[in-house]
Amino acid sequence: MEKLTPTLLSWASILEESTRAQAEKTAQMPFIHPHVALMPDAHLGLGATVGSVIPTLGAIIPAAVGVDIGCGMIAVRTRYRTGDLPEDRKPVRQAIERAIPLNAGAANTTVSREHTERRLERLRALAAEAGFDPATYARRWDLQLGTLGSGNHFIEVTADETGGVWLFLHSGSRGVGNKIAQKHIAVAREACAGEDLPDRDLAYLTEGTAEFDAYIREMRWAQTYALLNREEMMDRVVREFGEWVGGDVERLEEINCHHNYTEPEHHYGRDVWLSRKGAINAEAGRPGLIPGSMGTASYVVVGKGDEASLRSAPHGAGREYSRTRARKTFTADDLRTAMAGIEYRDTDAFIDEIPAAYKDIDRVMADAADLVEVRHVLRQLVNVKGD
């Protein structure tokens, strides 16, 4: 850990100057208590740095929660071993791609499964309690439950160091969560219109105002949506995997965790709103998931409860190349080389997701040694992504 300023601590051994400068602006906000914690995978984000933990007193910065509210991971450990799997992995990849709409605007054509409808009933009831209609943000919000999205979201069949097979996926609150975030970022900008902010996207909402309360209600709903979206997709992945291996899938362990969210927590003697933008809760004994990039390892971890980090840990590898720069730097052949031995859809659409566009996940995990203990290292067997 390195103390960059009195209110900014960093666990990143590699930190770009632009990322540090952005984080310093956040750490200057007058309601930070006691400090901003930069995770090992920190990189530039909208307003606030991705890979930062931001504790605030009496205020929340919507952009510090992120635009994909509740984005995170879910993993299921199965009873299967790699030796139990069929040799041809292409059928299960294609089956998952048929079962789950993958792309940015993709939606289910209908809602026909009983477990899907149960989750939607819960979300409708929660929205009514929160006093808003999700359809005002996204007309097809209900049909997007159980859809992946694009970018760095993925679904994988993986194997741990013992040969145990895990099902693993990464997604968030889809279009409705994004629209909720964008709306309240705009509301915060308007509320702070007369203030001299270090960055307009550090605009905040003040506790006790109607605007703050509305954000909390809708943001919490979006967090639940993201959690249930991952559950819904995992149900479908489990079904397709079971059909592929020809047997029932007993869930020996299941972990579902956010890495873009805010919650009230107690740190350094005060009750704060703790926003983890690209970070997971790593309180002592808490299980968590830290994914690598496409074609590299992911980690099942348990938190160590480090106080200085605000009991947090990184959420992944973190980008080193922008998507535009990655496309100019790498080729489809480079991606094929990086994905050797992994079943994936061979398309130029994934060039900007090549592992070389991300930080070295092993370096990130070495930097996080005081924050989490590694329980399992997962290696990809099958990878599914949206264009």
Q: Which among 296, 298, 297 has a CA at the least distance from the CA of 259?
A: 298
Cβ contacts of 359 within 8 Å, gap of 6 or more: 14, 40, 41, 43, 317, 318, 319, 320
CA dihedral 137, 138, 141, 147 (to 10 degrees): -120
315 annotated active-site: yes
Q: If residue 76 lies in a helix (H) or strand (E), which one and from where to where?
A: strand 72-81
* Residue type (1 letter), 345: R
Query: DSSP of 240-262, one letter per residue?
Result: HHHHHHTS----SEEEEEESEEE
- Active-site hit among 35, 258, 259, 315: 315
Q: How far apart are alpha carbons 11 and 97 in whole angstroms?
A: 37
- In angstroms, the Cα distances linking 381 to 160, 165, 255, 286 are 10, 9, 20, 27
Rounded to whole angstroms, the Cα distance separating 155 from 168 reads: 6
Q: Which residues pair with 299 in a beta bridge?
A: 290, 377
Under 8 Å between Cβ of 235 and 76: no
Active site residues: 315
